[in-house]
Chains A and B, each alone.
Chain A
């Protein structure tokens, strides 16, 4: 993925300014300081004020940009977009074929094509097609094989946002699961941040590790096969005290990990806990309060999706109410009791007449309608929420660590 690529540095306005610290020799005698020395001192001070952090070296501020991968290269990860609900992925290798229900797609057709291309199948007359997309954590989450229930993109974006993640942070995550959230976190903490992700299932940990390496994000993450809750053996994250900027817990028993979190989090750092059940959230919050966390907030986020459609509504219908033929009024009917064949025939004829009479009237109506509403009725652009939505994923509990150091629960 693009975010994991090494950055390209180039000259910026700031580096061209050649601002740097200039040494001033302190005057040895008690002469009043020279004007030029005063100027240099003032300049040094001004530079330090502008850059902050006592830094006066403008060469530290080049433009740094990620390289843009425009064309699909050999071994590159490609997201294959069949339809909105149907995404897949592959690593482009010459000679290989990707198969889905739309047909066979040759990797040789992928390589060299720009991302965002439409590819036709090599069988079934080339009627089947897919789109090739550049991977993003969101697309990846939708195309990967779920090993566990994954954290969906809305929840993932909320976790990253409310944890105030930013580049170069150190983050802990437990458990790894399918690695969907891990990619989201890594995107935000790149280029020099580090994600420590803990998984108690050995196989999932190994699969995740291989997947990260294949997606070329391995340098941003360390997968540890460990139960942070310490059900069997010591728990915890094995990180030094107050060394972590944020923690995400997605565990069946998050409360057991909370004391360890309090120990390794930096002061005023953020923690998020993702639990489907309110009882889990409740017990976690009790534990969080004991460990000095504050500003605890439990939230729920639901995504409401909408269709867009065009509709054309007709005006309310105008037509004649069917009436009984006049010569067969109520008196006539009550007299006969049962319909004779001739009566029925007459009625039928009458109805037919009614229909033929009615038709020109109806067209008249329509034409007059058109005349008032203009030559063509305007289509209405409408939206409607989807009939079904995901009703619940999890309760997200966010909180802030206190400023007092917490003891290591393992000691």
Chain B
């Protein structure tokens, strides 16, 4: 680091040791949060820990807790099978829905041949054959085709029999299995496998996977923010490495975390929080952010943005002392021992005890040394205009946005998310009337997943109907963006010009007049009416 405060770094100078160049590891690290995605679509959060040390149990599957120490070191994307007491990692190539029958164990693959054949011939054919040898004409649906009793199945499970064996036994004892169509055979097998041979895939926590899992689990807690809406927020806010983003996040920190991850440790995410200390620690931990990403999140207190409640006097900037900052500046790496600490240490008997004490002390000091204060965050926020504003809040969106807009640089985008449309309609109207922004768009998305299989392609039977609404726009320059005064000046200019240009414009007068009518007195209104015509 050189003496001057600002050093322009050219993009070609990429230092090899730059920690921001290191992409997240492809192998599960100690302490990583992961998502376990099951064949039936269930998604569970797990933390991979070697030692528990009084932490919450790492993962709970079917009301049973499982240790996760053996997941550390596995590559992401590995499939594990849920055993009776352990998660068994499976070799590469296995899927969450096992192949049937398991070719690794059995020589007999006549059945698989059938299934594969059906798919293979279909794949080669542009018009895949969906004609089947069997159909449902003789199916008697009286729930007696399974010869095994429920008790016998339970016993097999209790004795710790392998899932694959149970599935095989079930199929052997099913009277109607052989008369099913190939497709419904596959479906039957998959259904039994999902129940008796549970498998899941270790998926990295990314904004998309995390938001999807949370949306399945507790959508209400995050204002029904569906993952595709989060994706749009990230794009439309135009964030990139090095941006300053001001975010108001009541979606459990998902928006803040996703922004920090998208910016990769460059730039600053100013996240507004109320209360005593930064919230959503648990959710942000799930992003597995590295040090740079974590420290790019600057927590700004609501008081420093919206002010104090009416009647209370705000603390003036001159009298306020940033105690936390002063405290930090007293520290010096590597924190030499003070006399009483030294004395305390020397009283300790074993070396291990001393080392443990020092490790704890140093960890505490390092954390303190690298942590910014809310006061500093406020200074940074006021030092430069932000490149975008993101609002996903349970508070009034209109008022929040109007109060945050002064922090936004002109011609920069803002995104307001709300689970209901009405508050955004009000916000839209307010921005139009005050002429604060253009390019306003109020939208939501329709997201649909498809089952794509030869001859059997169709949309999924269930889909989410709403993922929240998004209002986007671009802030106008408050001085030159609404220049009604400018009109006078422009007329003056034109009167002075006269001459050749005046002649030319008289030829085009017709066109000019039309132009005026089209653009209209008010940009937004003109825009809106044209959109109506256009659509």
Chain A residues engaging chain B, CB cutoff 8 angstroms: 2-3, 6-15, 17-20, 22, 32-33, 35-36, 38-47, 49-53, 55, 57-66, 68, 70, 81-85, 101-103, 113-118, 120-129, 131-134, 136-139, 153-154, 156-158, 160-162, 164, 166-169, 184, 187-188, 190-192, 219, 245, 266-268, 278-279, 281-283, 285-286, 292, 294-295, 297-308, 310, 381-383, 386-388, 395, 397, 400, 402-404
Q: Are A267 and B26 in contact (CB under 8 A)?
A: yes
Cross-chain pairs A/B with CB under 8 angstroms, 10 sampled: A9-B7, A50-B367, A52-B291, A68-B385, A114-B410, A134-B412, A153-B235, A162-B231, A188-B262, A219-B12
Q: Would you call A120 and B490 a contact (CB within 8 A)?
A: yes
Name B442's contact: one of A64, A120, A268, A308 (CB within 8 Å). A308
Tell me which residues across on chain A come within 8 A of B326, comparing CB atoms: none
Interface residue? B33 (CB, 8 A) = no
- 9 smallest CB-CB distances across A and B, nearest first, come from A124-B512, A161-B231, A167-B264, A157-B235, A43-B334, A116-B410, A115-B411, A126-B490, A116-B411
Complex Cα spacing A306 to B426, Å:
13
Contact A64 B443 (CB under 8 A): no
Contact partner of B530 (CB less than 8 A), chosen from A84, A129, A154, A187, is A84
CA distance A316 to B490 in the complex (A): 51
Given contacts A20-B333, A39-B334, A305-B442, contact A7 B9 (CB under 8 A): yes
CB distance from B173 to the nearest CB of A (A): 31
Given contacts A64-B9, A122-B501, contact A400 B354 (CB under 8 A): no
Q: How far is the CA of A46 from the CA of B429 in the complex (A)?
A: 53
Contact B515 A101 (CB under 8 A): yes
Q: Which of A32, A43, A116, A381 contacts B422 (CB 8 A)?
A: A381
**For the complex, is B339 an interface residue (Cβ under 8 Å from A)?**
no
Q: Is the CB of A281 within 8 A of B452?
A: yes
The size bracket of the interface on B is: 35 or more
Instruction: Report yes or no: A81 in contact with B512, Cβ–Cβ below 8 A.
Output: no
Q: Which of B53-61, B150-158, B186-194, B237-245 contacts A (4 or more CB under 8 A)?
A: B237-245
Q: CB within 8 Å of A: which of B248-303?
A: 261-268, 290-292, 295
Say if the beta carbon of B508 comes within 8 Å of chain A.
yes
Determine if B6 is an interface residue (Cβ-Cβ < 8 Å).
Answer: yes
Residues of A within 8 A of B509 (CB): 124
Q: How far is the CB of B4 from chain A (nearest CB, A)?
A: 9
Which parts of B12-47 form the interface with A (CB within 8 Å)?
12, 14, 17-23, 26, 37
- A127, B413: Cα distance in complex, Å: 27
Contact check: which of A298, A382, A383 meets B450 at CB < 8 Å? A298
Of B80-88, B107-115, B177-185, B473-481, the one with at least 4 CB within 8 A of chain A? B473-481
Whole-angstrom distance from the CB of A356 to the nearest CB of chain B? 41
A298 to B146, CA, bound (A): 35
- Residues of B with C-beta under 8 A to A388: 535
Selecting from B161-169, B311-319, B516-524, the interface stretch reads B516-524
Contacts A120-B486, A300-B448 given; indicate if A267 touches B77 (C-beta within 8 A): yes
Contacts of B268 in A (CB 8 A): 63, 65
Report the bound CA distance from A124 to B480 in whole Å. Answer: 20
Q: Determine whether the beta carbon of A192 is less than 8 Å from that of B263.
A: no
B309 — which chain A residues lie within 8 A by C-beta? none
B527 part of interface (Cβ distance < 8 Å)? yes
B183 to chain A, nearest CB (A): 16
Contacting pair A134 B240 (CB below 8 A)? no
Query: Is there contact, CB below 8 Å, between B476 and A128?
Result: no
Contact partner, B208, options A10, A43, A131, A164, Cβ 8 Å: A164
* Set of chain B residues within 8 Å of A283, measured between Cβ atoms: 123
| B window 51-77: CB within 8 A of A | 75-77
**Are A13 and B428 neighbours in the complex by a CB distance under 8 Å?**
no
Main secondary structure of the interface of A (DSSP, over half): mixed
Pair A128/B515 contact, Cβ less than 8 Å: yes
**What are the residues of chain A within 8 A of B342 when measuring CB–CB?**
35
Q: Is B100 an interface residue (CB 8 A)?
A: no
Q: For window 131-152 of chain B, which residues contact chain A by CB distance below 8 Å?
A: none
CB pair B9 A9 closer than 8 Å = yes
State whether B241 touches A190 (Cβ < 8 A).
Answer: yes
Q: Are A168 and B264 in contact (CB under 8 A)?
A: yes
B11 touches A6 (CB 8 A): yes
Residues on B with beta carbons closer than 8 Å to the beta carbon of A55 = 17, 19
The answer for the CA separation of A166 and B265 in the assembled complex, in Å, is 10
Is B346 positioned at the interface, with any CB of A under 8 Å from its CB?
Answer: yes
Report the separation of the CA atoms of residues A157 and B208 in the bound assembly, to the nearest whole angstrom: 12
Q: Is B337 an interface residue (CB 8 A)?
A: yes
Q: How far is the CA of A64 from the CA of B263 in the complex (A)?
A: 11
Return the chain B residue nearest A170 by Cβ.
Answer: B23
Q: Is the CB of A168 within 8 A of B20?
A: yes
Question: Which residues of chain A are near B238, meaning CB under 8 Å?
Answer: 136-138, 187
Is the CB–CB distance between A11 and B5 below 8 Å? yes
Q: B305: CB under 8 A from chain A?
A: no
Q: Say whether B434 faces chain A, with CB atoms less than 8 Å apart.
A: no
- Complexed CA–CA distance, A58 and B20 (Å): 12
CA distance A299 to B447 in the complex (A): 7
CB-CB under 8 A from B235, the residues of chain A are 138, 153, 156-157, 160-161, 184
CB <8 Å contact, A301 and B445: yes
In the complex, given contacts A118-B483, A184-B235, A297-B449, what are 4 additional A-B residue pairs having Cβ atoms less than 8 angstroms apart?
A35-B345, A102-B515, A116-B412, A157-B232
B6 — which chain A residues lie within 8 A by C-beta? 8-10
Q: Which residues of A contact B334 (CB under 8 A)?
A: 22, 39-40, 43-44
Contact between chains at A168 and B21 (CB < 8 Å): yes
> How many angstroms between the C-alpha atoms of A82 and B524 in the bound complex?
10
Asked if B511 is at the interface (CB within 8 A of a chain A CB), the reply is yes
B534 within 8 A of A: yes
Q: Which residue in chain A gives the minimum CB-CB distance to B227?
A: A161
Asked if B376 lies at the interface with its beta carbon under 8 angstroms from chain A, I say: yes
Enumerate chain A residues within 8 angstroms of B363, measured Cβ to Cβ.
46, 49-50
A300 to B432, CA, bound (A): 32
Task: Tell whether B421 is near chain A: CB-to-CB under 8 Å.
Answer: yes
Contacts of B513 in A (CB 8 A): 124
How far in angstroms is the closest Cβ of chain B from A42? Answer: 4
Complex contact A191–B241 (CB within 8 A): yes
B395 touches A (CB below 8 Å): no
Contact assessment for B18 and A60 in the assembled complex, using a CB-CB cutoff below 8 Å: yes
> With A19-B366, A117-B477, A266-B26 in contact, is A124–B516 under 8 Å at CB?
yes
Does B304 sit within 8 A of A, measured CB to CB? no
Interface centre among B334, B365, B432, B508 (most CB of A within 10 A): B334
> Of B5, B421, B441, which one neighbours A10 at CB under 8 angstroms?
B5
**Complex alpha-carbon distance, A191 and B240, angstroms:** 9
A268 partner, pick from B21, B204, B535, beta carbons under 8 A: B204
- Assuming the A-B contacts A131-B438, A161-B208, are A60 and B17 also in contact, with contact meaning beta carbons closer than 8 angstroms in the complex? yes
Contact: B244 with A65, CB < 8 Å? yes
Contact A42 B337 (CB under 8 A): no
In the complex, B104 has a CB within 8 A of chain A: no
Inter-chain contact A83/B526, CB cutoff 8 Å: yes
B531 adjacent to chain A (CB < 8 Å): yes
Shortest CB-to-CB span from B300 to chain A, Å, is: 15
A116 in contact with B481 given A20-B333, A279-B126, A402-B77 (CB within 8 Å): yes
Instruction: Give chain A nearest CB distance to B67 CB in angstroms.
Output: 23
Contact B476 A116 (CB under 8 A): yes
Chain A neighbourhood of B204, CB < 8 A: 164, 268
CA distance A145 to B410 in the complex (A): 26
Q: Residue on A with the closest CB to B119?
A: A286
CB-nearest residue of chain A to B388: A136
B359 interface hit (Cβ, 8 Å):
yes
Query: Once the chains are docked, how many angstroms separate the CA of A55 from the CA of B22?
Result: 11
**Residues B264 and A101 in contact, CB atoms below 8 Å apart:** no
A57 to B17, CA, bound (A): 10
Q: Mark B398-425, 1 if CB is under 8 A from A, else 0.
A: 0000000000011111000000011001
Asked if B160 is an interface residue, CB under 8 A from chain A, the answer is: no
